[in-house]
Amino acid sequence: MFSRVAAQLHGEVNALYALRDDMKRQGLPIRDLISGNINEQGFVFPQDCLEEILIRGSRQCQIYRPDSFGRRSAREAISKYYLNQDCSVDPNCILITPGTSLSYWYCFKLLADDGDEILCPCPSYPLFDYIALLSGTKLIPYQLEEARNWAIDIHQLEARISTKTRALVLISPHNPTGHVASNEEISGLAEIAQRHDLAIISDEVFSEFLLTPKFLPRPAASGAPLVCTLNGFSKMFALPGLKFGWVALSGESERVRQAMRSLELISDTFLPVSEIVQASVHEIFQHGEKTRLDFAQRIRECWEIAEAYLKSRHYCCYVRPEGGFYVTLRLRDLDEEKAAETILRENHLLVHPGFFYDMDPNHLVLSFVQNPAIIREAFPEMLKTLDQLANYEGQNSSEC
């Protein structure tokens, strides 16, 4: 009765989440140190302002006149956002979507036929596996090297290209390592894309949360034949419930023209983005500027608090994230799955083992987006448990 794809969508609950669910059934409180839902961490767009913006937007939508690309005013607001960051994006080359996940699906369907390949960084967020499955494409991993601060292995990436490769994905700032691609890395990717006639899908959803660089290098300014830049309001303005994102195209004019023509038909099939939200985009950018900057500053402050606890530990080390709000800890000879389960059982804290992201053993992934009071309480508890595990295993060391 069901398709082959449907048969692959029945995921089993892993041991860590089975333990979490059992603890919840017992009424035990669980503090989530991995969730990317920033609303739950106190990041909220000013509600009164948002309500007024949406009311004004609704008054512009009394007669339904959809545009397959998205409302012109919304695309012009996005174009102005990039212009203010010294990046030129034509509003005619922007497609509105209901968020980055569907933007990926649009791009996968635009660029690849069933069985074709798209290169994706490893480690990586597991969501891509499902998007690739639903789009009929195959993900081929390319490595980020922890020993080089999670830099892209350009030579290994190019070696993974085959006659079926159609595109490569760049996530910068990267989730979960926090790596921000340098100008040199982006130039290398653009050269590879030119030689092999590949598109670049550039995921920039964490672009507002830079921890060390002052600006974000972007493939849109490179010489790649086609670049699809993805972003949206979910992280930028802490508005995941609005379901507003976009794909901005740049590159060779004929490639862009062909891509926009195809994306227009894909989008017109569904017309999935709320007209009220689209009509409100200009004002959200305008009135949300201070909110956006405040969010970014708070993330930097949260990282400073978190790092103060992490930097003095001997049984784990980390590459300092350059952007985003996740950090990856490398454990010295401690089993990551045992560590994550022990932290959950003893401290009621949920962190992820590295294998969730296809990392080499042994790592833990956690977020520092939480309220500073939670960081000050939870991080020492977690680190104390790791310390006890290290001492128990006889692995405590001054090197990592």
Of the candidates 354, 292, 345, the one whose C-alpha atom is nearest the C-alpha of residue 327 is 354
How far apart (Å, rounded) are the C-alpha atoms in residues 110 and 64? Answer: 27
Contact 117, 162 (CB under 8 A): yes
Which one is the CATH code of 62-288: 1.20.120.80, 3.40.50.12160, 3.40.640.10, 3.90.1170.40?
Answer: 3.40.640.10
Closest CA to 365 of 10, 16, 2: 16
Give the pair of three-digit tokens for residue 334: 């401690």
Structure confidence at residue 117 (pLDDT): 98
What is the pLDDT, as a whole number, of residue 378?
Answer: 96
Q: What is residue 399's predicted lDDT score, i.e. its pLDDT? A: 53
- Domain positions in the chain: 4-44+290-391, 62-288
Cis preceding-peptide flag for 396 (omega within 30 of 0): no
CATH topology of domain 4-44+290-391: Aspartate Aminotransferase, domain 1 (3.90.1150)
Distance CA 287, CA 246 (A): 20
CA dihedral 306, 308, 312, 316 (to 10 degrees): 10
- Residues paired with 331 in a beta bridge: 316
Q: What is the CA radius of gyration of the chain?
A: 22
Q: Give the predicted TM-score (pTM) of the model.
A: 0.95
**How many angstroms separate the CA atoms of 129 and 113, rounded?**
16
User: What is 150-199 written as a DSSP string?
Assistant: TEE-HHHHHHT--TTEEEEEEESS-TTT-----HHHHHHHHHHHHHHT-E
Nearest-5° angle of CA 270, CA 272, CA 273? 150
Which residues partner with 170 through β-bridges?
Answer: 202
For the purposes of burial, counting CB atoms within 10 Å of the CB of 323, is it exposed (0-12), middle (13-18) or buried (19 or more)? Answer: buried
For residues 141, 145, 149 and 151, what is the CA-based torsion angle, rounded to 10 degrees? -50
* Helix residue ranges per DSSP H, 84-146: 100-111, 127-135
The single-letter code of the amino acid at 80 is K
Question: One digit per residue, pLDDT tens: the chain, 400 residues?
Answer: 888 888 887 767 899 999 999 999 999 999 999 998 889 988 999 999 999 999 999 999 999 999 999 999 999 999 999 999 999 999 999 999 999 999 999 999 999 999 999 999 999 988 899 999 999 999 999 999 999 999 999 999 999 999 999 999 999 999 999 999 999 999 999 999 999 999 999 999 999 999 988 899 999 989 999 999 999 999 999 999 999 999 999 999 999 999 999 999 999 999 999 999 999 999 999 999 999 999 999 999 999 999 999 987 778 999 999 999 999 999 988 999 999 999 999 999 999 999 999 999 999 999 999 999 999 999 999 999 999 998 877 644 545 5
Q: Are the CB atoms for 171 and 124 separated by under 8 Å?
A: yes
| CA proximity to 293, closest of 214, 209, 231 | 209
